[in-house]
Amino acid sequence: MTPPATNAAARRDQHPPAALSRDEIRARVAALGPWFHNLDLAGVQTAPDHFLGDYPAVKWRGFRDAVPADLTGKSVLDIGCNGGFYAIEMKRRGAARVLGIDADPDYLAQARFAAEVVGADIEFRRLSVYEVGRIGETFDVVLFMGVLYHLRHPLLALDLIRAHVARDLLVFQSMQRGSADVAETAEDYDFWQTEPFDRPDFPRLHFVEKRYAGDPTNWWVPNRACVEAMLRSAGFAIAAHPEPEVYVCRCTEPDPAVAAERPTVTMPEQP
């Protein structure tokens, strides 16, 4: 259900919006650019010419009804928060605590400014997904949107999220390519059984050695079957699939063999 336009809990947690003129906001937006998130900051758009349109608002409209409308008293972690769009939306739904993390200091500067302009009390920290163990707490809702394919070690990232920060709900999004069909996989395959691996609906994670869409950080492109298999393997049960690239998952107990393989990764926190 779409949240009401006015939410008492959300209003209590908002700070007064920054007292900046539209010209001042426009100047700060330009200084902090380029932006990937197109945000509406008091009438100033941060990425009006985005190649995906009004992004990520256009993506959000496709799955927002699958996210709890009332997050009063809940904690939210936004991994790879970028310019802060989803973190701000979670605060608007009344979340008591929202933490956004990103490895890119430029994105964090954008997110902090956006939160200041809209008056949202959100904490931002410079951490990568591999460092979530440093946070030292679990969250009711974890957002992991548009990050997986930028990672050299995508399954490790999901394992670390499940082991260290996810308590109940994971909202996940990944670019997908290849077949949208999903094969029914067997519990085991004979060593000489090769046919399943040639099927387009078998879980497949395509490796990009150089660039995809001009971006050298697009390392992997999964198909749908691969995304769903990776989520299950990491200990996330798919509860809803409201948009082709988006999944809402519940935490489950991982297979003992999988749990035994999970490493703990901690690295020095960056300023």
Integer angstrom CA distances of residue 31 from 21, 118, 222: 15, 18, 35
Residue 133 has pLDDT above 80, yes or no: yes
47-67 residue pLDDT tens: 999 999 999 999 999 999 999
187-202 residue pLDDT tens: 999 999 999 999 999 9
The tokens for 237 are: 């049960």
Nearest 5°: the CA angle 37, 42, 44 is 55
Q: What is the CATH number of domain 64-181+192-261?
A: 3.40.50.150
Whole-prediction pTM value? 0.90
Specify the pLDDT at position 255: 72
Specify the pLDDT at position 102: 99
14-45 residue pLDDT tens: 565 668 999 999 999 999 999 999 999 999 99
Percent of the chain topping pLDDT 90:
85
DSSP 42: T
- Between 171 and 184, name the one with better pLDDT: 171
What mean pLDDT is predicted for residues 233-251? 98
Region of residue 178 (left: phi > 0; alpha: psi -120 to 50; beta: else): left
Using pLDDT thresholds of 50, 70 and 90, give the confidence band for residue 263.
low
Residue 41, beta-bridge partner list: 44
**Alpha-carbon span 137 to 236, nearest angstrom:** 18
**Alpha-carbon span 92 to 90, nearest angstrom:** 5
What mean pLDDT is predicted for residues 63-88? 98
Residue 100 has pLDDT above 70, yes or no: yes
- Please say whether the beta carbons of 28 and 41 come within 8 A: no
- Please say whether the beta carbons of 224 and 203 come within 8 A: no
Residue 178 has pLDDT above 80, yes or no: yes
The tokens for 169 are: 């709900």
- Please say whether the beta carbons of 83 and 145 come within 8 A: no
In 3D space, the residue among 150, 153, 145, 101 whose CA is nearest the CA of residue 270 turns out to be 101
Specify the pLDDT at position 4: 41
Side chain identity at 63, as an amino acid letter? F
205-220 residue pLDDT tens: 999 999 999 999 999 9
**Alpha-carbon span 238 to 236, nearest angstrom:** 6
